[in-house]
Amino acid sequence: MGDYYMFVDASGDDGLKFDKGSSLCYVASGVIVHKDDIEHNITVLGLIKQLMGAKAKDEIKYSKVRRHPRRVEIHRLLKDIKGSAYSFVVFKRLTESLLFLNPATKALSSFSHVLAIVSMAEHFKKDSSVTVQVVIDRMKETEESAVKRLLIEYDLSERTEKLPNHSISYRDSKAEGYELIQLADIVSGLTRSHFENHNSSEALSLFWRLCPLCFGPNKVLCKRKRLPSADGCPLFFALPLYRNNPNANCLKSLTYEPSKIGKHFRYLYCPKMK
């Protein structure tokens, strides 16, 4: 048993037929939990299931949460989760690498999972003595092999931030003892929904337009008090998870492809977004 667990899952698909329902984004998320907080988080997950009218052993997906009549209550429970979240967000329409997006290579899924997993190097850079058990929702055999190869390449690279001692296993999210993979599903699904809707949501467009003030000379013009409540922007309920990292913000917890798109989401780093 490790000192920590990292539960990993993804939301979206590797398709490029957007007019036929392919997801606009692909998001891989890792949720880091201390072993002593496992039971607490399973209890919170149980409360989420109760709100959904599901049984304790049922598997829940964010695709059902976001349409549920009690979704606001469910989102609020995310603030009770003890842990840290890291996500890699791919905007498929804006990504230029055809090889990276070619569904035949499965590179999108494997590479995104690895980017979420190696975030633990940043998270534990001041405590390299820990051990981490990485638990990933089951993938296709070719994807699992690619993840293993990419992680070996990361370990062999000359990066200053090395991965802590860790082991990797693939489990079904319904399996007893690994239910918190479902939490990673909720985080990845909630995150994908946020970024896919950033252009169409009137509330999110307000954040996009107003928040760059914080990064210029006109901070005194901040109009944060005029912005909508977090109820209309569910990702804000997950911000405590994204901010629970060595930087105390989302700067390293949320990474993007293409990276330049990240400038539009600086409002997520604002300490007033709670």
Choice between 97 and 242, residue whose per-residue pLDDT is larger: 242
Instruction: Quote the mean pLDDT of the chain.
Output: 86
The 3 state secondary structure assigned to 87-123 is EEEEEHHHCCCHHHHCCCCCHHHHHHHHHHHCHHHHH
pLDDT tens, 259-270? 988 877 877 877
At 272, is the pLDDT very low, low, confident or very high (cuts 50, 70, 90)? low
- Residue 227 scores a pLDDT above 70: no
More confident residue, 2 or 93: 93
Q: Is the pLDDT of residue 215 over 60?
A: no
In this predicted structure, what is the pLDDT of residue 165? 93
Percent of the chain, pLDDT > 70?
85
Mean pLDDT of 244-251: 84
Residue given tokens 């494997």 in the structure block: 110
Q: With a cut of 90, say whether residue 244 has pLDDT above it.
A: yes
pLDDT at site 209: 59
How large is the average pLDDT for residues 20-31?
95
Average pLDDT of the segment spanning 2-8: 93
Q: Domains of the chain (ranges plus CATH)? A: 4-197+235-269 (3.30.420.10)
Which helix (H) or strand (E) element contains residue 219?
none
Which residue, chain included where needed, has tokens 């988080």? 41
Residue with tokens 């329902």: 21
Residues ≥6 apart with Cβ < 8 Å to 92:
16, 18, 22, 23, 24, 25, 26, 101, 108
169 or 204: which leads in pLDDT: 169
Q: By CB neighbour count within 10 A (0-12 exposed, 13-18 middle, 19+ buried), where does 240 fall?
A: middle
> In this predicted model, what pLDDT tens digit does every residue of 124-183 receive, in sequence order?
988 878 999 999 999 999 899 999 999 988 887 877 678 999 999 999 999 888 999 999
* Per-residue pLDDT at 113 exceeds 90: yes
Gap between the Cα atoms of 251 and 242, Å rounded: 9
